[in-house]
Structure 1
Amino acid sequence: MHLRDATPADAGQIAEIYNHAVVNTTAIWNDVQVDAANRVAWMQTRQGDGFPVIVAEVDGQVAGYASYGPWRAFDGYRATVEHSVYVHPGRHGGGIGRTLMEALIARARADGKHVMVAGIEAGNAASIHLHEKLGFQTVAQMPQVGQKFERWLDLTFLQLVLDDRPAP
């Protein structure tokens, strides 16, 4: 496995992974699939704002991707980021998600971020467990704040404090 920053050439494979999650899971609370052009625009915005988009490449294919961006759009939250990690459905359970998470955490620390937030559908025990193994702690449960597949979804928020600064 090789980790690297994503390029526009990865957009089609990133869109495939994203779309699989849209159609088949509650990992993404969107109903609309995207195309490669959408993912290129997303990457350009993310990277243009100074945030990483990382891909895990296996045998020349994108096996997963990860990114973080602003948690909330107010100046006071500038040291807090929210992340996303998605793995190709044929590659689950192989450590790709964990490797991408570890890279994101390292990047956030290097970028001087203070807290990383994860918003995870409460029934996604595997993702919650992975985050807990990496030191994230559950800080909130929000029942019925989302919907997909004609049912209400509960949201679990976890966070990882990235440094021990007593003040910003």
Structure 2
Amino acid sequence: MQITHALPRQHPLTIEQAQAEHMAAVTGIYAHYVLNAVCTMEEIPPSVAEMHERHADLRREGLPWLVALSGAEVLGYAYAGRYRPRAGYHGTAETSIYVHPAQHGRGVGQALLASLVGECESMKLRQLVAVIVDGADTTGSVRLHQRFGFRQVGVFAQVGRKFGRDVDTLLLQRSVAAA
């Protein structure tokens, strides 16, 4: 799959399935969030080798891992992972989206989420879940998900801890196919 989005930049924005050659850039984008934001509860950035393993695991399961590209430059990525490992949850996936900090507000996240939802619909998944840490740096992510039909269905109070403070996680959910 390759989707082209018309955005003002030197090269058009394309959304493609992530490949091994994208993992170094993906690792760099993710490392920024690990070290500077509460949107992930990881505290040590994974290596490129670890990101290759994560990518391979999702692809073996047939789940989408997408990259947003401008030419050969990775501007962001998104994937759907299994919500829980037990068989009864196999119709539900958890979404994750990370956009290069220099690309915020340029439609990259919107293009990624639109494509990710489309991929999940084509896979006949029933539900998508987004688990978003409640914080000043995550309000854009909440708004983005809401634009795509996700609705807040719960809050886990103080289940995370990062940068020396307790954080809540918001649970958002969206149906993707008729049950």
TM superposition score category, shorter chain reference:
over 0.9
Does structure 1 residue 164 correspond to structure 2 residue 178? Answer: yes
Q: SS where residue 99 of structure 1 aligns?
A: helix
Equivalent of 1:130, from 130, 144, 152?
Answer: 144
Q: CA deviation at 1:59?
A: 3.3
Q: SS where residue 108 of structure 1 aligns?
A: helix
Q: What are the ranges of 5 or more consecutive residues in structure 2 without an aligned counterpart?
A: 1-12
Instruction: Indicate the percent of aligned positions where both proteins have the same amino acid.
Output: 31
Q: CA deviation at 1:163?
A: 2.0
Does structure 1 residue 55 correspond to structure 2 residue 46? Answer: no
Partner of 1:3: 15
Q: How does 1:16-27 map to 2 (within 5 A)?
A: 16-27=28-39
Partner of 1:75: 87
Does structure 1 residue 94 correspond to structure 2 residue 110? Answer: no
TM-score by length of 2: 0.90
How many residue pairs get matched?
165
Q: SS where residue 72 of structure 1 aligns?
A: coil
Aligned Cα RMSD in Å? 0.8
Q: Distance in 2 between matches of 1:142 and 1:85?
A: 20
Any idea what the Cα deviations from partners look like across 1:72-122, whole Å, max 9, x if unmatched?
A: 111111100001000001101111001100101000010010000000011
Q: What are the ranges of 5 or more consecutive residues in structure 1 without an aligned counterpart?
A: none
Q: Distance in 1 between matches of 2:15 and 2:166?
A: 35
Q: Which amino acid aligns with 2:149?
A: G
Q: Which amino acid aligns with 1:160?
A: R
